Structure 1
Amino acid sequence: FPVMPRIFMAVRRESRYPVSEILAKTPAIPANCQWGIFLRNHDELTLEMVTDEERDYMWAEYAKDPRMRANIGIRRRLAPLLDNDRNQIELFTALLLSLPGSPILYYGDEIGMGDNIWLGDRDAVRTPMQWTPDRNAGFSSSDPGRLFLPTIMDPVYGYQVTNVEASMSSPSSLLHWTRRMIEIRKQN
């Protein structure tokens, strides 16, 4: 948990210090164990392990709109958190994959899936996985009104545009890039 917000601080401040400092303070673990590392704790970029000043900085940089916040965290998916900047998304993913431990990618990050900040609490980032451009994003064949949460209806992040099927058919997609980076990590 403490590494996660510091990756975002380090990149925005263009300084290695936030990450190197927390890694130096991280206690050792037994030889047969490793840390799970992630960019967001599945449904939020938690800011509970930072100072009040650092939290205010993170909100100002990554969650200017109060609807983007949940409790003391940021309830955004990776792509909208980084303004859908492909270079930034790749940089953050590369940093995640370069750190020691077991990297954890949250579903949808590999295709640049968005969120819905109009939904309450953490539901903003708990929308159905976008498999196809078909009804309900290919997630369910039920009536759309019966889904627990609605699909994302957005010109940039909506399931009609951002989905696994479209990503699979494009060799230059974020999904294919992410798969290549995971293969490189496995080889090293």
Structure 2
Amino acid sequence: FPVMPRIFMAVRRESRYPVSEILAKTPAIPSGCQWGIFLRNHDELTLEMVTDEERDYMWAEYAKDPRMRANIGIRRRLAPLLDNDRNQIELFTALLLSLPGSPILYYGDEIGMGDNIWLGDRDAVRTPMQWTPDRNAGFSSCDPGRLYLPTIMDPVHGYQVTNVEASMASPSSLLHWTRRMIEIRKQNPAFGLGTYTELQSSNPAVLA
């Protein structure tokens, strides 16, 4: 949880220090264990473990609309947080897959799923997985009114456009890119089992 908001701060500020500092403060764990790391999950992007100044910065940068906030955090998915910018999404995902720990991808982020800030509390980021452009996004064949939460239907992230079926059919899709990145990580055990040592750089925007 402490790493998650600092990844967003570091990239937006073009400074490695938010990530470098939190990794340096991360306590050691037994051999054979790893921290779970993620960009987003089923709850809000928690800002409980940052300073008041950092929290205000994150809200100003990533949650200008009060409806995007929940508890002490931001209730948005990865793609909307990054304005659906493919380059930014790839940068964040590549960073996640290269940091020490066990990376966790939240369902739908691999296809650029959106959210629904009109839903209450954390439900904004818990809508049905978008498998196909068919009824209920291919998630269920039931009457749409019986779904626990409605599917995303906006013009940018709606299931008719953003879904696994369409992503699989496009070689240049975010889904295929993400699968390739995961495969590269799996082919190089050092990413999962090696030790992490930060290399110093004179450029504060470089994390190595």
TM range (shorter): over 0.9
- TM-score in terms of structure 2 length: 0.89
Equivalence map 1:5-154=2 (5 Å): 5-154=5-154
CA contact (8 A) 1:44 1:76 kept: yes
- TM-score in terms of structure 1 length: 0.99
CA contact (8 A) 1:40 1:46 kept: no
CA contact (8 A) 2:117 2:124 kept: yes
Cα deviation 1:95-149 (Å, max 9, x = unaligned): 0000011100000000000000000000000000000000000000000001010
Aligned equivalent of 1:3:
3
SS at match of 2:117: coil
Once the 2 structures are TM-superposed, how far is the Cα of residue 88 of structure 1 from its aligned partner? 0.2
Once the 2 structures are TM-superposed, how far is the Cα of residue 42 of structure 1 from its aligned partner? 2.7
For residues 93 and 133 of structure 1, the distance between their equivalents in structure 2, rounded to whole angstroms, comes to 25
CA contact (8 A) 2:42 2:122 kept: no
Once the 2 structures are TM-superposed, how far is the Cα of residue 41 of structure 1 from its aligned partner? 3.3
CA contact (8 A) 1:76 1:125 kept: yes
CA contact (8 A) 1:46 1:74 kept: yes
For residues 113 and 185 of structure 1, the distance between their equivalents in structure 2, rounded to whole angstroms, comes to 23
For residues 150 and 43 of structure 1, the distance between their equivalents in structure 2, rounded to whole angstroms, comes to 17
SS at match of 1:76: coil
For residues 180 and 164 of structure 2, the distance between their equivalents in structure 1, rounded to whole angstroms, comes to 16
For residues 132 and 60 of structure 1, the distance between their equivalents in structure 2, rounded to whole angstroms, comes to 35
For residues 86 and 75 of structure 1, the distance between their equivalents in structure 2, rounded to whole angstroms, comes to 20
Please report the RMSD computed on the Cα atoms of aligned residues, expressed in angstroms: 0.6
SS at match of 2:79: helix
- Unaligned segments of structure 2, at least 5 residues: 189-208
For residues 62 and 42 of structure 1, the distance between their equivalents in structure 2, rounded to whole angstroms, comes to 17
| Number of matched pairs | 188
| Structure with bigger gyration radius | 2
SS at match of 1:7: helix
Aligned equivalent of 2:171:
171
